[in-house]
C-alpha cells in the first residue's frame, strides 16, 4: 500500500512524514523545501503478530508494510506547471490513497502561502488543481475514443459518452469520485487512474495546545470534519509536532509521554487503521518456526486468492485452508489446545477471509 502525503506548503507534511517514518525528510519554514518525493516504508504495528512471534520464536518476523510518499507542497497553478506542478501531480498518480494534511492552527511565526489559516480554502485550492489536471487526461481520453470509434465501434462510442459526461461534471468544479454513474461506466472511468478518484484521509494538523484541548474544541477541525463527512472521506486529528517528539523517544519514555498527553495510541497507529478502513483492507496471519507474517488483502477475498498472495502455486493447487481465529488461538495459548477444542476449521474455495485469520493453506501442484 502506498500513501501520498500532500498539502499546501508549510502545513506540516514533512514534519508528519518525519514523525511516522523517521526517514529524515528535510523540514523547514519555507515553500518547496521537499524538492523530491521522500519515501519511507513503515512496518504496520500488529500485536497479534507479536503474540505469534512469542509463541514460535521464528527465524523471521515479517509485518505488513505501508509506503509513505512525502510530496512537495502544491500551490495555485500547479496543473499548469506552477511551483513544482506536474512533478507533484505525477507523484500522486502512483499512490493508492491520499493523506491530505490541512493546517488547523494559527501561528504568526509559521508562514502560510495564502496569508491566513482557512482549511476549506486550502482544500479547494488543491482540489481545483487536481480537477484541472484530471480534465486534461479526460479530454485526451475522449479524443482517443472518438478516433477509435470512427468505424462505428459502439464500445468506443460509449466510452466517449461516459468520459464526456464525467468531463461536464468536473467542469463544474466537482471531483471524479463524486460522479454518479452505473458500475460498468465506473469501470471505464477507473481505467484512467484519475487523481480525484483516489480516496482521501484529511489529517487535521493542530498545534500542541489545540490537540491537548481536544479536536471538538477546535473550530478549524469542526469545519473540516463537516466537510469530510459530506464527501464521504475520513478525517484524523493529529499534531505533527507531538508525533515528531514521540518518534524521537525510546519505548519506555514514549509510553510515559503518551500517557501524560492522554493518548492511547500513536498517530501512526491511528493513521494506519484509517488507511486500512478507507481502502477496505484486512490482514490474515501465517505462523511457524520459520516465519510469522501478516498478509494484506481486500475485504471479501476468498481463501484461494488469499493463498495466491503467498505464491501463485498455492492458489493454483488450492485444496483447503486450515483456519483459527486469532482471538481463539490467543485464549487457548497454543495451536495444539486450539485443535483439541475443535477451534481449527477446514475451509474450502468459497470461504471469505476474515481479519486476523491464522491460516495454513493446503495445496497440491
Query: pLDDT per residue over 324-350, tens digit each?
Result: 999 999 999 999 999 999 999 999 999
Quote the Cα angle for 258-260-262, to 5°. 70
Residue 283, H or E segment = strand 281-286
275 grid coordinates: 488507511
User: Among 37-46, 100-109, 172-181, whose mean pLDDT is lowest?
Assistant: 37-46
Please give the pLDDT value at position 141: 93
292, 273, 329, 324: which is closest to 49 by C-alpha?
292
pLDDT for 37 beyond 70 = no
CB 111 within 8 A of CB 122: no
pLDDT at site 111: 62
pLDDT of residue 73: 61
Closest Cα to residue 123, out of 90, 98, 96, 92? 98
Mean pLDDT of 278-282: 92
Residue 96: HSE in the Cβ half-sphere, 13 Å Cα cutoff: 14
- pLDDT single digits (tens) 252-274: 888 888 888 888 888 888 888 88
3-state secondary structure of 82: coil
Note whether 66 and 59 are within 8 A (CB).
no
Beta bridge mates, 34:
none
Taking the C-alpha atoms of residue 258 and residue 265, their distance in angstroms, rounded to an integer, is 8
For the cut 50, the answer to whether the pLDDT of residue 14 exceeds it is yes
Q: Which residues contact 80 (CB under 8 A, 6 or more apart)?
A: 132
Residue 93 reports pLDDT greater than 90: no
Beta strand 318-325 with 357-363: parallel, antiparallel or unpaired? antiparallel
Half-sphere exposure in the Cβ direction for 88 (13 Å, CA): 28
Report whether 284 contacts 356 (CB < 8 A): yes
What cell was used for 270?
Answer: 491511528
Helix (H, G, I), strand (E, B) or coil at 295: strand
- Claim: this prediction has a pTM higher than 0.85: no
**pLDDT over 70 (residue 86):** no
What is the spatial distance between Cα 301 and Cα 299, in angstroms, rounded to a whole number?
A: 6
Question: Residue 116: which pLDDT band, with cuts at 50, 70 and 90?
Answer: confident
Amino acid at each position: 500500500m502506498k500513501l501520498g502525503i500532500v498539502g499546501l506548503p508549510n502545513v506540516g507534511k514533512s514534519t508528519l512524514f518525519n514523525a511516522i517514518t523517521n526517514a529524515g525528510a528535510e523540514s523547514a519554514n519555507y515553500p518547496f523545501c521537499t524538492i523530491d518525493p521522500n519515501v519511507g516504508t513503515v512496518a504496520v504495528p500488529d500485536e497479534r503478530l507479536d503474540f505469534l512471534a512469542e509463541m514460535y520464536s521464528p527465524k523471521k518476523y515479517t509485518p505488513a508494510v505501508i509506503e509513505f510518499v512525502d510530496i512537495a507542497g502544491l500551490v495555485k497553478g500547479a496543473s499548469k506547471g506552477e511551483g513544482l506542478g506536474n512533478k507533484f501531480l505525477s507523484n500522486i498518480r502512483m499512490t493508492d490513497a491520499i493523506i491530505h494534511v490541512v493546517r488547523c492552527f494559527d501561528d504568526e511565526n509559521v508562514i502560510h502561502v495564502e496569508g491566513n489559516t482557512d482549511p476549506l480554502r486550502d482544500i479547494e485550492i488543491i482540489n481545483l488543481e487536481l480537477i484541472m489536471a484530471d480534465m486534461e487526461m479526460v479530454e485526451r481520453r475522449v479524443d482517443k475514443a472518438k478516433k477509435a470509434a470512427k468505424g462505428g465501434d459502439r464500445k468506443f462510442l460509449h466510452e466517449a459518452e461516459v468520459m464526456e459526461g464525467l468531463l461536464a461534471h468536473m467542469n463544474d468544479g466537482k471531483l471524479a469520485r463524486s460522479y454518479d454513474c452505473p458500475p460498468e461506466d465506473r469501470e471505464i472511468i477507473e481505467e484512467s487512474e484519475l487523481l480525484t478518484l483516489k480516496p482521501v484521509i484529511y489529517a487535521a494538523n493542530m498545534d500542541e495546545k489545540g490537540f491537548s484541548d481536544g479536536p471538538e474544541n477546535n473550530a478549524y477541525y469542526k469545519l473540516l470534519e463537516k466537510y469530510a463527512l459530506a464527501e464521504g472521506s475520513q478525517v484524523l486529528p493529529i499534531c505533527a509536532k507531538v508525533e515528531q517528539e514521540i518518534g524521537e523517544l525510546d519505548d519506555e519514555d514514549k509510553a510515559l509521554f503518551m500517557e501524560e498527553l492522554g493518548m492511547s495510541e500513536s498517530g501512526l497507529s491511528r493513521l494506519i487503521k484509517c488507511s486500512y478502513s478507507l481502502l477496505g483492507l484486512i490482514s490474515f496471519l501465517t505462523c511457524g518456526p520459520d516465519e510469522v507474517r501478516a498478509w494484506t488483502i481486500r475485504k471479501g477475498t476468498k481463501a484461494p486468492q488469499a493463498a495466491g498472495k503467498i505464491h501463485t502455486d498455492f492458489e493454483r493447487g488450492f485444496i483447503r485452508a486450515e483456519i483459527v481465529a486469532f482471538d481463539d488461538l490467543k485464549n487457548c495459548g497454543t495451536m495444539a489446545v486450539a485443535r483439541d477444542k475443535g477451534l481449527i476449521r477446514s475451509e474450502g474455495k468459497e470461504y471469505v477471509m476474515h481479519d486476523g485469520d491464522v491460516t495454513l493453506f493446503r495445496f497440491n501442484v
